[in-house]
């Protein structure tokens, strides 16, 4: 991942302002420690902190068209850049960077080109010929982007809030799948945005079958295509295209279904990669946890089965607690479940980077797409399940994508997410949601359809018991005592009186537990403005559910906690005692 900062319309364009832009851009250097760049044009500034993954030798940013009248600063990867270059035969490319294609696409097609990009990206582009600019973010929001406004009328964009929060009167999280055009002066929905409305069909509707929704007959993929739709795109495209790299890489392997499938597919592709000539054909895998944790055991077994070069990292509860302030500064949220999961990922990323690895694949997105969280056991029907998956995918940029990106970028490590491939989501959201419903009476556990697609008797991807392992949230899988330790620590830091008066101190998104209150105090220390706290979502949750899904089970309202163990009667190690005694959770 890289870090971008762009400012347009500054009243002050003196050397002092240039120095200030450089100073703010340095706040993003953890994202891109390999090189720094700055382009100034009149009252416009485009800054870049580079993490060199593709073409490390010549791909420094900002990037330009042939005569340097179009300037672009990009954070992300464009996986189809070679195909796009073939459409731009009249253009001359200066670098081998996958991102340079954006400048030439704009020159060729104007603003109507973003839908052509296949990748994860946030970018800002300046056309010096008419002094206009655009900004865009990928459809899911895999890479972060913020937009702000200064008192002098300036418009700001940055990869992280910390680069603009001090100099902007107001700022917001830039919406995924959107383009900002200075010509139009409004945010317009990009054609690649795949989540319209929130409860409508998320993707293109193809083939036959389906149900009626809002008076429209939905078309779903037929069940007999299960093996094709999930096996082939994930194997041949979603994973393979993300192995595009000129630097050492690996896979984050928790031992759960999603990361294990990514590792299994990647390990089979290693020998075919151009990078194998330089980095070898043995896949590196990485796992973190408290000693004896469920994830460590499962990951080791998967790694042995796949014959990867496995790296196992341990941390203690105290080490995690000691890192909390730094974690919250980097991930820029006070959301409880995000902080719980980000801390071990943050610690692991530091270890991974110390080994010389700069890019990893990770399994985020599968649970949102397939209804994999344990609370989906209580989905009342397929329509409600589908609506909830759409809500979850729409919110990924505020939760799992934010965590995966910022926890790794804190140490100059790039995380890529195959399950959030554009084509893969198109296919996955086009199947009848009935096949995602959890039906224990006929042997269907969560994400059964994905497990079944990779249940290959002749050439197994994974051992059966791993393929059908119960869902374990990352913050639980690293060791159950991790969350318990966080709660105990928060109980010692936050008094009963503080929690009672929380609504007066924090009237917006009021924390309801001592753990949430503790995280909020740390967040406010780094980001005290109202605009900052408004970028963080709120509302009740059980096992990572949305507030709407909490209503699926009346007992959940007495046991609100984002841990998977809050799924009473579902998780093998659920908070059963808490269900019997609601007051037991009050200090959480």
Binding residues for ATP: 252, 288, 362-363
Q: 174: which DSSP letter?
A: P
**Residue located via tokens 């996955």:** 428
DSSP string, 454-478: T--SSS-SS-HHHHTPPP--HHHHT
Q: Are strands 63-64 and 70-78 parallel, antiparallel or unpaired?
A: antiparallel
CB 58 within 8 A of CB 74: no
CB 475 within 8 A of CB 290: no
**Residues with Cβ within 8 Å of residue 578, at least 6 apart in sequence:** 559, 566, 568, 584, 585
HEC profile of 430-447: CECHHHHCCEHHHCECCC
Q: Are strands 170-173 and 146-149 parallel, antiparallel or unpaired?
A: antiparallel
Query: Which phi and psi angles does 551 have, rounded to 5°?
Result: -70, -5
Beta-carbon count within 10 A of 208 CB: 8
- Integer Cα distance of 164 and 535 in angstroms: 14
CB 190 within 8 A of CB 115: yes
Quick one: which of 410, 400, 409 has its CA closest to 562?
Answer: 400
**Residues with Cβ within 8 Å of residue 579, at least 6 apart in sequence:** 555, 558, 559, 568
What residue numbers does the annotated binding site for L-glutamine cover?
98
CB 461 within 8 A of CB 261: yes
Dihedral sign from CA coordinates of 13, 19, 20, 24: positive
Helix %, strand %, coil % for the chain, to 5? 40, 15, 40
The three-class DSSP label of residue 20 is: helix
- Integer Cα distance of 178 and 137 in angstroms: 6
User: Which residue is catalytic, options 2, 10, 44, 168?
Assistant: 2
Residues found in the chain: 588
Q: 241: which DSSP letter?
A: G
**Residue located via tokens 């189809």:** 80
Alpha helices in 39-168 (DSSP H): 81-86, 101-109
Judge whether 2 counts as a catalytic residue: yes
What residue numbers does the annotated binding site cover?
98, 252, 288, 362-363
Q: Are strands 284-289 and 309-314 parallel, antiparallel or unpaired?
A: parallel
**Residues with Cβ within 8 Å of residue 261, at least 6 apart in sequence:** 234, 363, 450, 454, 461, 462
Q: Name the residues annotated as catalytic.
A: 2
């Amino acid at each position: 991942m890289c870090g971008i900062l762009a400012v347009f319309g500054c009243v002050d364009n003196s050397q002092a302002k240039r120095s200030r832009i450089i100073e703010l851009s340095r706040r993003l250097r953890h994202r891109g420690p390999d090189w720094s760049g700055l382009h100034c044009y009149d009252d416009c500034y485009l800054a870049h902190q580079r993490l060199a993954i593709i073409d490390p030798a010549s791909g420094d940013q900002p990037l330009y068209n042939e005569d340097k009248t179009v300037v672009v600063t990009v954070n992300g990867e464009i996986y189809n850049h070679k195909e796009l270059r073939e459409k731009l035969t009249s253009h001359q490319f200066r670098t081998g960077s996958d991102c340079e294609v954006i400048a030439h696409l704009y020159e060729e097609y104007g603003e109507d080109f973003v839908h052509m990009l296949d990748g994860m990206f946030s970018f800002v582009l300046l056309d010096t010929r008419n002094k206009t600019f655009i900004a865009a973010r990928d459809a899911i929001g895999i890479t972060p982007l913020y937009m702000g406004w200064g008192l002098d009328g300036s418009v700001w964009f940055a990869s992280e809030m910390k680069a603009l929060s001090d100099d902007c009167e107001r700022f917001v999280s830039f919406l995924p799948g959107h383009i900002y055009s200075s010509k139009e002066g409004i945010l317009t929905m990009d054609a690649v945005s795949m989540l319209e409305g929130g409860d409508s069909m998320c993707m293109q509707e193809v083939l036959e079958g389906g149900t009626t929704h809002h008076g429209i007959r939905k078309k779903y993929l037929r069940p007999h295509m299960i093996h094709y739709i999930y096996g082939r795109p994930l194997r041949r495209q979603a994973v393979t295209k993300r192995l595009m790299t000129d630097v050492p890489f690996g896979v984050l392997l928790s031992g759960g279904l999603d990361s294990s499938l990514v590792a299994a597919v990647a390990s089979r592709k290693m020998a075919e990669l151009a990078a194998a000539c330089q980095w070898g054909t043995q896949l590196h895998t990485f796992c973190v946890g408290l000693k004896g944790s469920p994830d460590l055991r499962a990951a080791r077994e998967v790694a042995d089965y796949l014959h990867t070069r496995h790296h196992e990292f341990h941390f203690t509860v105290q080490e995690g607690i000691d890192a909390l302030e730094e974690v919250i500064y980097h991930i820029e949220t006070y959301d409880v479940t995000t902080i719980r999961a980000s801390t071990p990922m943050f610690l692991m990323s530091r270890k991974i980077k110390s080994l010389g690895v700069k890019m990893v694949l990770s399994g985020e997105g599968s649970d949102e797409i397939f209804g994999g969280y344990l609370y989906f056991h209580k989905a009342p029907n397929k329509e409600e399940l589908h609506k909830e998956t759409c809500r979850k995918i729409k919110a990924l940029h505020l939760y799992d994508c934010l965590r995966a990106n910022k926890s790794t970028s804190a140490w100059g490590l790039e995380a890529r997410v195959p399950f959030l491939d554009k084509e893969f989501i198109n296919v996955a959201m086009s199947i009848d949601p009935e096949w995602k419903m959890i039906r224990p009476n006929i042997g269907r556990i969560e994400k059964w359809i994905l497990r079944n697609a990779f249940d290959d008797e002749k050439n197994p991807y994974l051992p059966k018991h791993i393929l059908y392992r119960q869902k374990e949230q990352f913050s639980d899988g690293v060791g159950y005592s991790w969350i318990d330790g966080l709660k105990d620590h928060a109980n010692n830091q936050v008094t009963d009186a503080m929690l009672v008066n929380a609504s007066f101190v924090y009237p917006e998104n009021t924390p309801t537990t001592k753990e949430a209150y503790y995280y909020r105090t740390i967040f406010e220390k780094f980001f005290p403005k109202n605009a900052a706290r408004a970028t963080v979502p709120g509302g009740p949750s059980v096992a990572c559910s949305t507030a709407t899904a909490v209503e699926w089970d009346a007992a959940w309202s007495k046991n609100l906690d984002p841990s998977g163990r809050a799924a009473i009667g579902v998780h093998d190690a659920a908070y059963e005692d808490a269900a019997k005694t609601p007051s037991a959770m009050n200090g959480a």
